[in-house]
Amino acid sequence: MLAHYLEEEGLATTIVSLVRLHSETIEPPRSLFVSFELGRPLGQPNNHVLQREVLEQALGLLESDNGASLISDFDQSNDGTETNESWSPTATAFSDLDMTDVADLKKRLKDEIETLAPNYAMAKKTRGRSSVGVSKLTMDEIAEHVTSFLNEPHQESPREDLSSAMVLRFGVDDLKAFYAEAASHGGSPSSWQLGNWFWRDTVAGQILISLREAAMGQSDKRFNIVGSKFLVPRIWIDELNLKDS
Amino acid sequence: MVNVRTLPDVMQKQLNEVDCPVFKNKPWVRGGPLKERRVAILSSAGLHLRSDKHFVGGDHSYRVIPNDTDPGDIVMSHISVNFDRTAFQQDLNVTFPTKHLADMEEEGLIGSVASNHYSFMGATDPRDMEDDARQLAGVLKADQVDAVVLLPV
């Protein structure tokens, strides 16, 4: 739709489309359909050859004189379920968790973060960037805030400009980014491998699953929405056979 | 359809049932060869500078990301958790390919790279973004941009 508006204003556009049905219905001027995972318009991380191919093909559509609603298909696909055998997950503090012992869970989470910290630091240095930081909290503060909801949903916000529930949401985003960046350092795991590791084998994953369950039964509206909708991805709710919200 | 094999039924259903508009007119802007075009990225990944306001539900505004921004200064606050973020976390270029555009400019494949790029947050109904998008078109034209590549997530 954005392409349609821009084109009406006189700007030539080309879109990399992840959902062919939407392009077929909306009919943007030019779209290159790619059969990649949602979230990966140019394919795979660190596969710059593939990324360039997608980008060049998408931009190449600008030279077509088709006249209206051109949909082209990229000839490679990747659904993210491949397994990279050379990647091995980072050891975590996951074993014999008592999900009712919040003090122990908090300690285990902090231990796990500490275990991953060297890999995270190396990944950040190697990549020259990190995507962690939307919550503007330290990982220790995130661990405190996230686990505090296991005891009591009416938490004070650690930030003046955001509600407690919003800080929870961004803190969880940062937590997941920290884990993924650390665990993928030096390897090329698929998103499926990273997800399996995070949601099945880490203390953080188990805490988020518990938080989601706790939030689903809460009358606190903000915690209920954030906890039930924005902590565990739908694909893992399904894969782990978690209760529907 | 996107990799349906990996999508739970409920997500497939949601994607299939998205209320997409059907436009009567089919605008088509012709331009010169790609090697003479000035290219900007328009992402809908909810990207922004660390110093910018994060995106919230229903947000129809966009954020400006200067082309020379340090990659470490770009973060994501898209409200949906139902797309893969691990690729973005490992490599900015898989969603926001400024490096590739710079290389393509150097190789003469495109004319130049825009001064700024832009991001909306795709969970908002794009119909609510129409005014902002049309205003953005003026901003892009003021930067002499004549090619926009849209990258959703």
Q: Where are the alpha helices (DSSP H) in B48-96?
A: 86-90
Residues A124, A49, single domain; the answer is no
Say whether both A107 and A62 belong to one domain.
no
End-to-end CA distance of chain B: 14
Backbone angles phi, psi at A225, to 5 degrees: -70, -50
pLDDT interval class at B138 (50, 70, 90)? very high
Q: What is the pLDDT of residue B4?
A: 42
Are both A114 and A183 inside the same structural domain? yes
Is residue A8 less than 8 Å (CB to CB) from chain B?
A: yes
Contact A59 B34 (CB under 8 A): yes
> Does A52 contact B103 at a Cβ distance shorter than 8 Å?
yes
Name the minimum distance, in Å, from the CA of A236 to any CA of chain B: 9
Please tell me the number of Cα atoms within 13 Å of A142 on its side-chain side: 28
Indicate whether A74 and A152 sit together in one domain. Answer: no
Q: Dump pLDDT digits (tens) for B34-58.
A: 999 999 999 999 999 999 999 998 9
B149 to A63: CB separation less than 8 angstroms, yes or no: no
Do A28 and A121 lie in one domain? The reply is: no
Residues A116 and A226 in one domain: yes
Residues A214 and A166 grouped into a single domain:
yes
Asked if A114 and A216 sit in the same domain, the reply is: yes
More confident residue, A89 or B28: B28
Number of separate domains in chain A? 2
Q: Which of the four pLDDT bands, split at 50, 70 and 90, describes residue A1?
A: confident
The 3-class secondary structure across A81-140, one letter per residue, is CCCCCCCCCCCCCCCCCCCCCHHHHHHHHHHHHHHHHHHHHHHHHHHCCCCCCCCCCCHH
Taken in order A121, A126, A132, A136, the sign of the CA dihedral is positive
Nearest-by-CA chain B residue for A194: B86
Q: Is residue A85 part of a domain?
A: no
Per CB-CB distance under 8 Å, the chain A contacts of B21 are: 1, 26
Q: Residue B150: its chain A contacts at CB < 8 A?
A: 2-3, 13-16, 28
The model's pTM is: 0.94
Q: Is residue A95 part of a domain?
A: no
CB A131 within 8 A of CB A137: no
Chain B touched by A86 (CB under 8 Å): no
Name which of A37, A55, A184 is nearest A123 in CA terms: A184
Instruction: Using alpha carbons, select from B1, B74, B68 the residue that is nearest to residue A23.
Output: B1
pLDDT band at B1 (very low <50, low <70, confident <90, very high): very low
Hey, are the CB atoms on B3 and A36 less than 8 Å from each other? yes
Give yes or no: residues A41 and A110 share one domain.
no
Torsion of CA A90, B84, B92, B54, to 10 degrees: -110
Same domain, A130 and A219: yes
Instruction: List, for residues B74-101, the tens digit of each pLDDT value.
Output: 999 999 999 999 999 999 999 999 999 9
Q: Do residues A112 and A211 share a domain?
A: yes
Residue with tokens 């190396």, as numbered in its chain:
A122
- A128 and B71 within 8 Å at the Cβ level: the answer is yes
- Residue B5: its pLDDT value, please? 46
Residue B126 has pLDDT above 80, yes or no: yes
Helices A102-127 and A164-183: crossing angle in degrees, nearest 10, is 60
Q: Is residue A91 part of a domain?
A: no
Specify whether A72 is located in the same domain as A112. no
Q: Domain residues for A48?
A: 2-78
Q: Do A27 and B26 touch (CB under 8 A)?
A: yes
- For tokens 């200067």, the residue is B66
Taken in order A81, A85, A87, A93, the sign of the CA dihedral is: positive
> Coil, strand, or helix at residue A76?
strand
**A residues 139-158 lying closer than 8 A (beta carbon) to B:** none
* Per-residue pLDDT, B48: 98
Strands B47-49 and B74-76, bridge-based pairing: antiparallel
Region of poorest pLDDT, from A11-20, B6-15, B93-102:
B6-15
- A125 in contact with chain B, both atoms CB, cutoff 8 A: no
Q: Is A117 on the interface with B (CB under 8 A)?
A: no
Distance CA B21, CA B86 (A): 31
Is A83 within the bounds of a domain?
no
